[in-house]
Amino acid sequence: MQNVILTGDRPTGKLHLGHYVGSLHNRVEMQNSGKFDKIFIMIADAQALTDNADDVNKVKTNISNVALDYLSCGIDPEKSTILIQSQIPELCELSFYYMNLVTVSRLQRNPTVKTEIQMRGFKQSIPTGFFCYPISQAADITAFKANTVPVGEDQLPMIEQTREIVRSFNSLYKEVLVEPRAVLPTNSKCARLPGTDGQAKMSKSLGNCIYISDTPDEIKKKVHNMFTDPTHLRVEDPGHTKNNPVFIYLDAFCEDKHFAEFLPEYANLQEMKAHYERGGLGDGKVKKFLTAILQAELEPVLKRRQEFEKDLGAVFEMLRVGSEKAREVAAQTLDDVKTAMGINYFGKNKL
């Protein structure tokens, strides 16, 4: 069996550091590992529309933002196919047949959908398309016969739902679909970065994100304003490093080499944390250190982005070619699916 990756993002905003540690970095490593036969990365604009029907323009403008985020982080179109979901109509057809394999109550129990319904305050007014998006996501994954789906933790219920659909389909009709497995980022301690304000999640609407595309100045400002330990009032006070966003970010990004380069008075993060907890280490100094690390990490990313921005035409062409290539694969799967169901009337299943 081939090793195939399918993963994706909704283009509702620029991607931020949460995406970077939670999935992008991992994807680039998987891409460059040489272990995969095919890699598909989907800009899920149709899924984004399930709760943004009144703001098509937002979704549209963010397609190029997300494409640039991918390219600047090292997704290489020679190795990974980047595609736009809405340009693959076969996905809608697959979804339509999968809908018959999923009950309403099963969708209602999907934990991710439940949380999102609450977060969006839909109450009883849930758009049907939104309610059904786990089914459409199953179509995304199975259309490419992906066996590997690198995602963040919040997406695990989606993969589970996909696996159930695959099992139902294969047992009801014929073994044509591949059961996928989720791959979580290996650095699980930092799979979830809080917002710079200490809120559990980075979110554009809360204005608490550091974006992958931020300039060194923006990074500096945002880290400077970051929430830290509210009980650490004076430098000499003992401080907490747990649940302290600045230290959570350091857990995610800091390596020993950064001390040698930017703050040689400590050998490693443990020593620095011990000093903070003892008292005598000011937040300003810790933030300055984090700023230097993030600037160093994101500088090459920003440089690459600026290069790609010089020729947006080439980026659009890459998306067009990627979508076309992906469509061929999805069309083949749809054909297999219809044949397995026995509804390929003008093909293998004559009336």
C-beta separation of 302 from 295 below 8 A:
no
Minimal distance, residue 260 CB to ligand TRP, in Å: 36
Footprint on residues 119-148 left by ligand TRP (CB under 6 A):
137, 140-141
Minimal distance, residue 229 CB to ligand TRP, in Å: 31
The token pair that represents 156 in the structure block:
């695990």
In the list 84, 149, 177, 202, the residue contacting ligand TRP (rule: CB under 6 A) is: 149
The site for ligand TRP, by CB under 6 A, has a size of 14
Task: List Cα–Cα distances, 175 to 91, 166, 293, in angstroms.
Answer: 19, 9, 49
C-beta separation of 94 from 17 below 8 A:
no
Name 207's Cβ contacts closer than 8 Å, sequence gap at least 6. none
Minimal distance, residue 138 CB to ligand TRP, in Å: 9
Whichever of 153 and 336 has its CB closer to ligand TRP, that residue is 153
Whichever of 49 and 254 has its CB closer to ligand TRP, that residue is 49
Whichever of 9 and 297 has its CB closer to ligand TRP, that residue is 9
Whichever of 155 and 244 has its CB closer to ligand TRP, that residue is 155
Minimal distance, residue 8 CB to ligand TRP, in Å: 4
Minimal distance, residue 55 CB to ligand TRP, in Å: 16
Whichever of 16 and 273 has its CB closer to ligand TRP, that residue is 16
Minimal distance, residue 90 CB to ligand TRP, in Å: 14
Task: Decide: helix, strand or coil at residue 39.
Answer: strand
In 225-311, which residue ranges form alpha helices assigned H by DSSP? 245-253, 256-262, 269-278, 283-309
Q: How far is residue 197's CA from residue 207's CA, in Å, rounded to a whole number?
A: 9
Q: Print the binding letters for residues 169-208 with ligand TRP: x by CB under 6 A, - otherwise.
A: ----------------------------------------
Task: List Cα–Cα distances, 7 to 27, 114, 155, 172, 349, in angstroms.
Answer: 9, 22, 11, 27, 33
Q: Does 102 bind ligand TRP (CB under 6 A)?
A: no
Q: How far is residue 221's CA from residue 234's CA, in Å, rounded to a whole number?
A: 21
Helix (H) / strand (E) containing 181 = strand 181-183
Q: Is 339 exposed, middle or buried (0-12, 13-18, 19+ CB in 10 A)?
A: middle
Whichever of 9 and 69 has its CB closer to ligand TRP, that residue is 9
Footprint on residues 28-67 left by ligand TRP (CB under 6 A):
42, 44, 47
Q: How far is residue 291's CA from residue 280's CA, in Å, rounded to a whole number?
A: 20
Minimal distance, residue 183 CB to ligand TRP, in Å: 11
Whichever of 7 and 244 has its CB closer to ligand TRP, that residue is 7
Footprint on residues 2-21 left by ligand TRP (CB under 6 A):
6-10
Minimal distance, residue 66 CB to ligand TRP, in Å: 11
Q: Between vectors from CA 156 to CA 319 and to CA 56, what angle results, nearest 5°?
A: 40
Q: Contact positions toward ligand TRP, by CB under 6 A?
A: 6-10, 42, 44, 47, 137, 140-141, 149, 151, 155
